[in-house]
Structure 1
Amino acid sequence: MGKEIEKKYVLHTYPTDLDIVETQEIHQTYLATSESETLRVRKLVINGQEQFTMTHKAGKGLVREETEFDIGAGIYEQLIGKLEVTPLIKTRKKVNWNDYHFDLDIYHNTVQKNLITIEIEFAEEADVEHFQKPDWFGEDVTGESQYVNSVLWEHIQSAAK
């Protein structure tokens, strides 16, 4: 199991001069969630190519345990087909800025309209203390439940009923 050390911010404006190195379309569905764990599947479309993953996360806030592995399209379709749910859909832009790499997520079907977040992963917990966020980042929402993807997904399911 790997460790994920990540901070998340809400963007109120979308900077147009970013160094975008990759764009992904992400459809993610949660198979199980609890207060401290999630199990999700994702379909990622990168340059027209589809990839499928399954991810288990444990913990909350800044540091969580994460295990992710590839699955086949058939397994993904079987899991999604049995659930009859709506995936969380977002466009992820991988951004380089100074010596950092960010994931900028533009959400398409959340209850929160026009939601854009940016996440940064750190190699070590000590790196978090040295990070100076750029002015355009917005507020730090790390660990705030209304911005956790599994909660956003659950709100989509509730709205669909």
Structure 2
Amino acid sequence: MAQEIERKYLLTGYPDNLNITRTQEIDQTYLASTESESLRVRRLLSNGEESFTMTHKAGRGISRDETEFQIGADMYEQLTERLQVTPLKKTRHKVLIDGRTYDMDIYHNTVQQGLMTIEIEFDSEDEFRAYQAPDWFGEDVTEQEKYLNSRLWQDIQSH
């Protein structure tokens, strides 16, 4: 089981000269979600190639256990069709800044119109604490529950 240690920031815009190395369209659906655990499936589309994942996350705060694995299209369809829910839809740009890769997400169907975030993962909590974000990053929302993807997804279901 891997550890996920990350920071998440709100964006109000971004520089025109970003080095985008990859773009994915993501549909994300939660099969289960509690305060300390979530189980989700994703449909990812990148360069015309479709793939599917299932991810289990456990824990709260800056460091969580994460297990992710590939699933087939049939499994994804079976799981999502039975739920009859709306997936969280976003465009993810992999961005290279000063030799580090960031995930910049532009959300398409959240209750919070125009939501954009950027995340960076770390190898340790010490690295997390020492990190200094670029000036154009907005508010650090790492520990704000309303910006968790599971919460954003739940908000869509209730509207």
SS of residue matched to 1:135 = coil
Distance 2:129 2:81 in 1: 43
**Match for residue 132 of structure 2?**
132
**Match for residue 70 of structure 1?**
70
**Match for residue 45 of structure 1?**
45
- 1:10-32 alpha-carbon deviations (Å, 9 max, x no partner): 00112211000000000000000
Distance 1:13 1:73 in 2: 34
Shift of 1:90: 0.1
Shift of 1:145: 0.9
Distance 1:8 1:61 in 2: 12
Shift of 1:100: 1.3
4+ residue segments displaced more than 2 Å? none
Shift of 1:73: 0.2
**Match for residue 96 of structure 2?**
96
SS of residue matched to 1:114 = coil
AA matched with 2:107:
Y
Percent of counterpart pairs with the same letter?
A: 61
AA matched with 2:122:
F
AA matched with 2:98:
N
Unaligned runs of 5+ in 1: none
AA matched with 1:57:
K
1:107 maps to 2:126: no
- 1:97-143 alpha-carbon deviations (Å, 9 max, x no partner): 00211000000000000000000000111111322100001110002
Q: CA RMSD in A?
A: 0.7
1:146 maps to 2:146: yes
AA matched with 1:80:
T
**Match for residue 54 of structure 1?**
54
Distance 2:99 2:124 in 1: 15
Unaligned runs of 5+ in 2: none
TM-score by length of 1: 0.97
AA matched with 1:21:
T
SS of residue matched to 1:12 = coil
